[in-house]
Amino acid sequence: MAGEATHVNTLKAGEKGEVKIADDVVAVIAGLAASDVKGVASLAGNTTRELIGRTGFKSLNKAIRLTVENGQVHVWLKVNISYGYNVPETSAAVQDRVATAIETMTGLTVSEVNVRVNSVVMEKAGTQNAQ
């Protein structure tokens, strides 16, 4: 398509043709995987799983940056951690979950997942007893 700005990765060509995955798709996979980790309140810009599902990549511009070169994925994520969770453990869980999701769903190899904790989020009043 003329004017298409999205980078596309071509995977192994099969007998029936080739498979192409846009970088935006890889970013959405990373965002959904990160938001699934217990202790992650949201991605930067208060991007939640529900918002990603409704708007796709457009909601991830502040939270995720990635590059894919020669089948190697490099990811930079910004997350907001819920108060009370161990930051290093939660960040390590994000790294593992994101790498596993991208590799399982796309066949690409994840070289690095860099996590930046943007903030700590307190529970809203009235939600503490909801458990």
The SS3 assignment for 105 reads helix
| pLDDT tens string 95-113 | 999 999 999 999 999 999 9
Q: Are 102 and 75 in contact (CB under 8 A)?
A: yes
The overall average pLDDT reported for the chain is 81
At the second CATH level, the architecture of 18-119 is 2-Layer Sandwich (3.30)
Residue 46 predicted with pLDDT over 70: no
pTM: 0.78
The CA-atom distances, in angstroms, between 89 and each of 62, 68, 74, 83 are 23, 26, 20, 13
Q: What is the DSSP letter of 1?
A: -
Q: Do 28 and 58 touch, CB atoms closer than 8 A?
A: no
Considering only CA atoms, which of 105, 77, 104 is closest in space to residue 91?
A: 77
Residues near 65 by beta carbon (within 8 Å), at least 6 away in sequence: 75, 76
Give the whole-angstrom CA distance, residue 78 versus residue 40.
Answer: 10
- pLDDT for the residue numbered 25: 87
